[in-house]
Amino acid sequence: MNDYIQSMRRLIGQETLITVGCGAIIEDEHGRILLQRRKDQNLS
């Protein structure tokens, strides 16, 4: 959980917290897609 959400949770507890997100698929001219490795998921 990032710092912003942790701070908000301390303030509002378990009340509903609405956040914004987005997603995209980036594809090159050969149909290959760009993948992103997230550092916050602890995946190897």
pLDDT digits (tens, 9 = 90+) for 1-44: 678 899 999 999 999 999 898 889 999 999 999 998 877 766 55
What is the dihedral sign for C-alpha 24, 25, 28, 33? positive
1 closest CA partner among 33, 27, 40:
40
Q: Are 33 and 26 in contact (CB under 8 A)?
A: yes
Domain that holds residue 39: 1-44
Q: What is the dihedral of CA 33, 34, 40, 44, to 10 degrees?
A: 80
Which residues, other chains included, contact 37 with Cβ-Cβ below 8 Å and sequence gap of 6+?
43
- Can you give the pLDDT at residue 11? 95
The total of structural domains in the chain comes to: 1
